Amino acid sequence: MNANLYALLRDHFAEHGEQPCILHPGGAVIHYDDLDATSARIAHVLVASGCEKGDRVAAQVDKCWQALALYLACLRAGLVYLPLNTGYQKSELTYFFGDAEPRVIVCSMEKLATIGALRPEATVLTLSGDEGTLLDLARDAPETFDSVVAAPDDLAAIIYTSGTTGRAKGAMLTHRNLASNALTLVDAWGFTRGDVLLHALPLYHVHGLFVACHCALLSGSRILWLSKFDAADVTKLLPHASVMMGVPTFYSRLLAEPGFNEDACRSVRLFISGSAPLLPETFNEFRSRSGHAILERYGMSETGMNTSNPLRGERICGSVGPPLPGVAVRVANSEGRACLPGAIGGIEVKGPNVFAGYWRMPDKTRDEFTADGFFKTGDLGELLDNGYVKIVGRATDLIITGGLNVYPKEIEERIDALPGIAESAVIGVPDPDFGEAVTAVVVAKAGQAPSEADLIAALKAEIANFKVPKRVHFVDELPRNAMGKVEKNTLRQRYSAS
């Protein structure tokens, strides 16, 4: 049997190939057959570019349906898809390309010169919607392609997640990981061919690419395709959707939209939230404005989805629900023993959804698994009496801003390297829009302090915008404990109030 995820997806939509798959508001409709043919053509281009099974294909492209076809083409050709945040800058890309050694890199047309120079060994193709060399080459390629036979443990994708040390790790996801999670979610959330999924998430993250697209493709439903989230547009389009997936920021922005009300949600059966904690205020206000209890779920790049509040049954505000079928979740204390309900410990997971390890980091991989095969997520949580999981914090200082992860260490190193800076600490402070806002606390060298605006501008030239601090506070010294560690909790308290 072929464990290629594309074979599974195709089995579910092939019979209805003439059905619409992607709906652009007020514009083109892409049918399942179109997606199938375009992904076949792209698969031929990748193979003709010299890609062999297991080779990596990196993509830093703006959201467009053709980018989804590129991902599917990689699955079909047995290649490993490496989606990259469109905000990543030169230094970040240099690291990813050096680490993953992609054979092909696909980028937007305006990035061609920069990216071509970063990795001369790779074939660099362009994709900007309908345009670019990838589709130019694909136009004459055959519209059928036999999906490569994949074993369940063959790699399908590598997703880079920031490390606590600032060095990003590539989470290796297999066809089995992605397929098992997709099947589980379609069932858990009741996806059917009648659904219309409002898709305003980015396509370079597990949430928008795997969770959202797999649920739709596997159930043969339609995707209302938005290039980005805009609360006013979404409010107008919701009456055409039956399901919406989003990060908490989407929901708080909808609440700030005057036209958002129960009527706008009349055709929606399910709102799903994840990637960052959903504040109780948002959950409650959303329920009173729309009549819907948002279904919160919990997952991560390394594992796909682990827990979910139920489709039918009680959705508990502040909880991410019970483990999904087939996924074992436990909360362990520092000695690795399971905690009793109510006690806080590290959340650990095991199941067919859990990744195969970090790319070329066997030691790091070993460190993150227990002797009995559970993955240590780094999240802190507790089990409630009813078996639901509650996340209470993070073992590390990870900041989640608008659903995207920022590890302070990486930003601190960048700030410290700037002229006039002695040292810095980067923290997340509560923010009504982003969940958390990246905030820097900086000690300047005597008489050399740059302005807040100059420091932010310098960082913007080096790293993706979402990682750049929204505020910079200058102080004479950082608070430290007896061991010399910066007391970030003190800083969080101080600047949360300000």
Sheet order of strands, 169-174 included: 123-126, 104-107, 56-60, 80-83, 155-161, 169-174
- Long-range CB pairs of 152-157 (<8 Å, 24+ gap) are 152/3, 152/176, 152/179, 153/356, 154/3, 154/53, 154/54, 154/78, 155/54, 155/80, 155/356, 156/5, 156/74, 156/75, 156/80, 156/81, 157/74, 157/80, 157/81, 157/82, 157/83, 157/210
CB of 211 to ligand AMP, least distance (A): 9
From the list 321, 455, 460, 311, the residue with the least C-alpha distance to 383 is 321
SS3 207: helix
| Measured distance CA(404)–CA(381) in Å, rounded | 20
Q: Which is nearer to ligand AMP, 320 or 438 (CB)?
A: 320
Nearer to ligand AMP by Cβ, of 272 and 459: the residue is 272
Could you tell me which residues come within 8 angstroms of residue 185 by beta carbon, excluding any fewer than 6 positions away? 191, 211, 214, 215, 305, 308, 324
Q: What is the DSSP letter of 395?
A: S
* C-alpha distance from residue 172 to each of 184, 240, 353, 361, 470 (Å): 20, 36, 11, 11, 32
Nearer to ligand AMP, 148 or 168 (CB): 168
Q: Least distance from C-beta 326 to ligand AMP, angstroms?
A: 19
The distance of closest approach from Cβ of residue 367 to ligand AMP in the complex, given in angstroms and rounded to an integer, is: 16
CB of 324 to ligand AMP, least distance (A): 13
For ligand AMP, the closer of residues 208 and 450 by Cβ is: 208
Residue closer to ligand AMP (CB basis): 38 or 174: 174
Closest separation in Å from C-beta 14 to ligand AMP: 31
Q: In the complex, which residues of this chain contact ligand AMP (CB under 6 A)?
A: 161, 206, 274-277, 296, 298-301, 320, 377, 379, 391, 394, 400, 405
CB of 299 to ligand AMP, least distance (A): 6
Tell me which DSSP letter residue 86 carries. T
d(CA 70, CA 105): 11
Q: What is the widest separation between alpha-carbon atoms in the chain?
A: 71
The least CB distance from residue 300 to ligand AMP, in Å, is 3
Alpha-carbon Rg for the chain, nearest whole angstrom, is: 23
- Output the smallest distance, CB 271 to ligand AMP, in A: 13
For 360, half-sphere exposure in the C-beta direction (CA atoms, 13 angstrom radius) is 10
- Nearer to ligand AMP by Cβ, of 43 and 400: the residue is 400
Residue closer to ligand AMP, measured from CB, 35 or 276:
276
Measured from the CB atom, the residue of 320 and 437 that comes closer to ligand AMP is: 320
- Residue 290's identity, in one-letter code, is S
Nearer to ligand AMP, 202 or 274 (CB): 274
CB of 279 to ligand AMP, least distance (A): 10
